[in-house]
Every structure is written in C-alpha cells, then in structure tokens.
Amino acid sequence: MFRRGGSTILNFTVTSAVLKRNMSSGPAGPIYFGPFEVTPQVFLTTTHSFALVNLKPLLPGHVLICPRKPHRRLTDLTAPELTDLFQAVQRVQRMLARHYFSSSATSNSSSEQNGTKDDKDAPADGSPEAGSFNIAIQDGVEAGQTVSHVHVHVIPRIRGATAKEGPGPGDQIYESMAAEEGNVGGALWDREVKKLRSKIGDRPKPGGSFPSIEDSERHPRSAEEMEAEAKLFRSVLKQMGDAESGSGQ
C-alpha cells in the first residue's frame, strides 16, 4: 500500500486480482439463458455476465456471452452491465485465442495461403492478433434473435482452418447464423423436449374412439331433462363440498 499527500492509493494489484478471480469463477447456482437452464454449459461468470458454450456451434469455439439479468435488448442494459458484458467478451476472446490461435493448436498451414509472411512483425503466438473473430449480436426478433435474452456470439476464425474463404466482402458465417444452423433457441428447445420425452414418454396419440352412432338413433332431449340433469350434478357437487368441509380437507 502506498500513500501520497496523506491519502491512500488503492492497491491496483489487489483490485485486479479480485476482478480476475470473479471473472474466472464457476457458476454459484442455477443460471438461465432465457427460459433454459444452462448451468452445466457456463464456463465464466462475472458480476453482471456469464459465458457459455454453444449447444450447436457454427465453428469450433463458438460461444455466447450474456448478461445475468434476462434483458431482451441491448439498450436495456445499464452502464455497469454493458461495461461488464464487453469486458467479458474481451476476456473470452483472449482465452479462445490462447486455445485456438497457438501454433500447437493449429496445423502447419502456409502463411502465404492467407496472404501473410513470417517476419519479425508477426503477431505473438496465441494472441488475438494471431487470428480473427466474428463478434455478433442479433438484437431483436427481426435480426434473428431466437432466445429473448441478450447474447453476444464470439466465433474464433483460425487461419488456415476456419478463416473466411477468399478476399473481399461476404462471409458464409452470417448466412449460417441466420439459418437453422444458427438457431440457438431452436436447439435449446429441442433439447428440453428431448429431456421431457425421456421423463414422460412420447406425445400421447388419439385413440379409443366410440363406435359410430347414426343420427337417426340420437334423439334430442327436452329442456326439462337437461335442467334435471344439471340440478343433479349441482347437488352432487354440493355434497362433495360439504363432505370435504366436514373432513377438514
């Protein structure tokens, strides 16, 4: 701890260590992504955010970062939540780069294939600059959001493996994200239905139909008959209520 002018300067090292520990901690309890519990998929939690692996990733390393509160739109986040969310995005980028952009994780592809040459200015091994990322938010249904809970897609693009094909504009990943391949909500819904089926079985099928009765054999009842039946049912219901009250149920 240091002092200057009689005031205490906060120990930045301790503060950073606490922040790092919070960002690296596992989930403390059930975590929900929209209506879906995703606790087993969560790999990072922060004060206001969490990150989870994708049920159906478009490419290796495709993950999602979400605010803890189930905000539907990006503009619903408070300033602290927004700051925390994108700090988590940066941390996840660095983690993915360390895993996917290191020489040990990539094949010995030619640098020239990607329009680069090995030189002293080459990015550090395992750094974010050693590859690229797609960072995307589908903010609202019209933009393709399938789970009404803000989520940031982070997709590493590995040079020589999953990088965009060819120079120029356009990238298949965005088309995939808007198609069934990128239907995050649909995949989670399918999983929940599968879980439910394992517990209660398949959806019941209709059956046990009555034998056909000809209209000529059906005779309309009179109003008096129907009123009498209704009175009977009311008396039965009253008896049931009195019996339940008398037994303390």
Q: Which residue has the tokens 């960072």?
A: 135
CA distances 12 to 32, 80, 202, Å, are 33, 19, 57
CA atoms within 13 A on the CB side of 19: 10
Phi-psi domain of 168 (left: phi exceeds 0; alpha: psi -120 through 50; beta: other): left
Token pair 């589908």: residue: 138
Contact between 70 and 50 (Cβ < 8 Å): no
Active site residue ranges: 151
